[in-house]
Amino acid sequence: MKDNDTEVTQDNDPGAVEVADSDTAIPDAVETETEAAATEAPVTEAAVSKAKSKPSDAGTTGSSSVVSTLRSPRVIRWAAAVVIVGLLVVTGVSLWQMRSLQTQLDAERSQNADALHAQQVAADYAVAAAHIDYRNFDPWFASLRRGVNDRLAGQFSSSEPALRDLLGQLQWTSTGSLVGSDITAQHDGKYEVQVFVDVTTSNVQSPQGVKTTALYPITIEKNGWRISDISGGVAPIPGK
């Protein structure tokens, strides 16, 4: 039996009757589907949120792993070793440069000291050679032979008798004072030095005395600092 609002269903069991209200059954089905959809939505959003958070978690985990690695004692020891080696290399290069510069400075100082010594030896010799007194030639001849090589010493010994006779007749006396000296050449361990000496001379021809500037070109050998040549001897420059 069926009317407009009610449907009667009979199963195999004649005594069982199911009555369903059509107006009520449809809304209930809709509500059930809505609740299911509402229940699924939060699950889907949570899954999306979790999926998005995974890379960030992985990045954080990776960063933490790198930091932990960098802080490990082994890495720290290696880094310290590299820094120490670098400092040692820089220090070694700096020390080598300093030693090289110091060696160069020492060489220059040695050369300058040698040049000054050569000038001093030549100047002392020239001033001593300018002091002559006919009344006693021995100190003068001793000065001429002092500090020279064997060749020059032999020449002075050979010429001594003639010089004694000539200067004695002229009644020669002279004194000298240093004006200056200069190195004109340096080669093969030898220094060529020009020495200028003011010489005041008196003799029978000029009893009042004459003042001249004498030039002594002297060659000195570094080995032993001995004089090996006096080029031209005493060269008077008149007019002073």
Domain map (residue ranges) of the chain: 105-237
pLDDT for the residue numbered 24 = 45
Model confidence, pTM: 0.58
> Which has the closest alpha carbon to 136: 171, 176, 184, 185?
171
- Can you name the CATH fold of 105-237? Nuclear Transport Factor 2; Chain: A, (3.10.450)
pLDDT for the residue numbered 71 = 59
Per-residue pLDDT of the chain (240 residues; tens, 9 = 90+): 444 444 444 444 444 444 444 444 444 544 544 454 444 444 455 554 555 555 555 445 555 555 565 556 766 777 777 777 777 677 776 777 777 777 777 777 878 899 999 999 999 999 999 999 999 999 999 999 999 999 999 999 999 999 999 999 999 999 999 999 999 999 888 999 999 999 999 999 999 999 999 999 999 999 999 999 997 554 444 433
> Which has the closest alpha carbon to 20: 33, 31, 5?
5
